Homo-oligomer: A and B are copies of this chain.
């Protein structure tokens, strides 16, 4: 079972990824691999200085690297300021993602009034409800649910078993991986006599262009206004985005992070995995939050923020952990000692 094989010359590849070629432009290459595993027909890359020592011994047909590393390259080189980005482009060219065949599978349920150009692909078992609009080249995987009135922009792709609730809007070039749910009602309930009354969730989810969403992630629709995900945002797996959250352009959020209702996150933020962000907060642009931190106040300045305690052997941790419960008392006792020392020193002065 072969993937689609692409074979091009190094000169061609260099020009397509925007790199400068040093070496054999006529060499045919047909795939990418690591410095260690690449063979003479494959292209490798060196982006992380940690792996510099592996460069000399590589058997790769060519290596994507910076000018700085060029002298150590044993063979042909593709030189660029950003080897990892150039590698991403080379990999896309040499190992292109499989594209599903255009057309709606006979096993799909597509409402009569769905807008879908010929270039659209719809997999078996998927359901496309009334009023949906699919752009050129959109692909809807097997078993997806696309609710009434959803809009998917040009070239967007849903992998199998994605659920889009009614009125969800995806821009162009988005990817949504399996099991992800977008547009589900937010967790909005009014308390009345000790019971919870469901508050209708009337907003939508609006997703920009080139947004990448992992597997089993959830994005809730807004309560009255909308939940908004900006252009170029990337979301990992198992993320919870609550109702009325707004995420700025090109922000990245790693797996298992939970963003509570009405949070507004700026642009180019990097939120690590397992983070929690409490409701109604604002996070400035260019903020980094480290793994498993809890954000309970708005962050107004760019920078890196953290909470939590470091890992220790359980035996030591238990001792310190018990002391944490006494910390306020420890601080007060320390202050008393300091005051006593001052008094003593003053009484000494008096003498």
On A, residues with C-beta under 8 Å from B are 1, 32-34, 37, 82, 84-85, 87-89, 91-92, 95, 97-98, 105, 107, 109, 123-127, 130-131, 141-143, 145, 147-149, 159-161, 163, 165-166, 175, 177-181, 184-185, 187, 189-192, 194-200, 202, 212, 214-218, 220, 224-225, 232, 234, 236-238, 240, 242, 250, 252, 254-256, 258, 260, 268, 273-274, 276, 278, 288-297, 299, 303-328, 330-331, 333-334, 337-338, 340-341
Contacts and interface: CB of A to CB of B under 8 A. Distances in A.
Contacts of A126: 125
A339 to B, nearest CB: 11
Nearest to A191: B85
A54 to B, nearest CB: 13
A161 B274 CA distance: 25
Nearest to A91: B200
Contact of A321 (B32, B98, B309, B319): B309
A303 B313 contact: yes
Q: Determine which residue in A215, A276, A292, A314 has the highest number of CB atoms from chain B within 10 A of its CB, and name it.
A: A215
Contacts of A252: 189, 196
Contacts of A338: 333, 337
B292 A273 contact: no
A289 to B, nearest CB: 8
Q: Determine which residue in A187, A192, A220 has the highest number of CB atoms from chain B within 10 A of its CB, and name it.
A: A187
B163 A194 contact: no
24 contacts: A1-B130, A85-B191, A88-B197, A92-B200, A125-B127, A142-B145, A145-B178, A159-B163, A161-B161, A175-B198, A195-B232, A196-B212, A196-B252, A198-B212, A240-B273, A256-B258, A273-B276, A276-B291, A307-B310, A310-B324, A316-B328, A327-B327, A337-B338, A337-B341
Given A1-B131, A95-B202, A160-B163, A311 B295 contact: yes
Closest 4 CB pairs of A and B: A163-B178, A145-B160, A1-B131, A319-B328
